[in-house]
Amino acid sequence: MSYENTAMLVDESLCTGCNACTVVCKQLYELPYGIFRTKINRISSGSYPVVKDYFDKRACFHCTDAACVKACPTGACQKDENGLTMINSSLCITCNWCVTNCPFDAVQPNRTNGVIEKCTLCSGRIKADKEPFCAEVCTTRAVKFGTRREMLKLGRKRVGELKDQGYTNAYIYGEQELNGLKVLTVLTDKPENYNLPSNPKIPMSLQVWKYIPFKPLMFAVGGLALSFNAIHTRKIKNLQEKNKKDKGGK
């Protein structure tokens, strides 16, 4: 299977909210309390007596046109050779611009470790010809992994089945959004009901950045703030490394 053409399909209609994906991700990537690379949200829509509950697996969608990459001032947030959105922690100064510009709230600052956390789609496992952890542990097979063509085929088939069952708004999210997402999602209702933007766009601030006439001044002012943040981040990283060495020496 070509790594470059791989994609994930999340079928929200099959998700039971068991959180197996959340648990395995937190454990294996050693994420601290309150920090998630993937998370299951329970969403209620409507009003009594007609209330619908949805489960939404939220993580980085690995957008083709990624706002976080455009926003990053140091190049730490970048696309790898196969189109996945990655963060190089050695370049990251935790300025949080990727966090504030992500239209999906899929990026989190981890102040404990002085890094930014997001789903990598378990890129190391994919390169080793294995599924991402969340696909492997999903109890209902709501999460699948394969080539993008295969995932689109499965997604379209599932949407057809859901529409036959009366879910008239069933939809594949990610086929076209932001020029295509690496993580495709089968929704049973409109994206808004899953707290997803129906037409996600790169924030206007990033679109007009190249037309701003006073960039040097803005860089100078912003650079002072970023330098302070970088020093603070480096102190945290150095302290963390020292603690690891101390523990290893005991």
The backbone torsions φ and ψ at residue 56, rounded to the nearest 5 degrees and listed phi first, read -130, 115
Q: Which residues pair with 56 in a beta bridge?
A: 41
| pLDDT tens, the chain, 250 aa long | 555 689 999 999 999 999 999 999 999 999 999 999 999 999 887 777 777 888 999 999 999 999 999 999 999 999 998 899 999 999 999 899 999 999 999 999 987 888 899 999 999 999 899 999 999 999 999 999 999 999 999 999 999 999 999 999 999 999 999 999 999 999 999 999 999 999 999 877 776 654 555 444 444 444 554 554 555 455 555 555 655 555 554 4
Nearest Cα residue to 182 out of 19, 34, 77, 64: 64
Phi-psi region of 56 (alpha: psi -120 to 50; beta: other; left: phi over 0): beta
pLDDT in tens, 132-187: 999 999 999 999 999 999 999 999 999 999 999 999 999 999 999 999 999 999 99
CATH class in words for 3-209: alpha beta
0.85 surpassed by pTM: no
- Exposed e or buried b per residue across 36-74, where buried means at least 16 C-beta atoms within 10 angstroms of its C-beta: bbbbbeeeeeeeeeeeeebbbbbbbbbbeebbbbbbbee
d(CA 8, CA 163): 22
The one-letter amino acid code at 169 reads N
Dist. CA 99–CA 229, nearest whole Å: 15
Residue 203 pLDDT? 77
Measured CA to CA, the distance from residue 30 to residue 159 in angstroms comes to 36
Predicted local distance difference test score (pLDDT) of residue 220: 44
User: Is residue 147 exposed (0-12), middle (13-18) or buried (19+ Cβ within 10 Å)?
Assistant: middle
Q: What single letter denotes the amino acid at residue 209?
A: W
Tell me which DSSP letter residue 181 carries: B
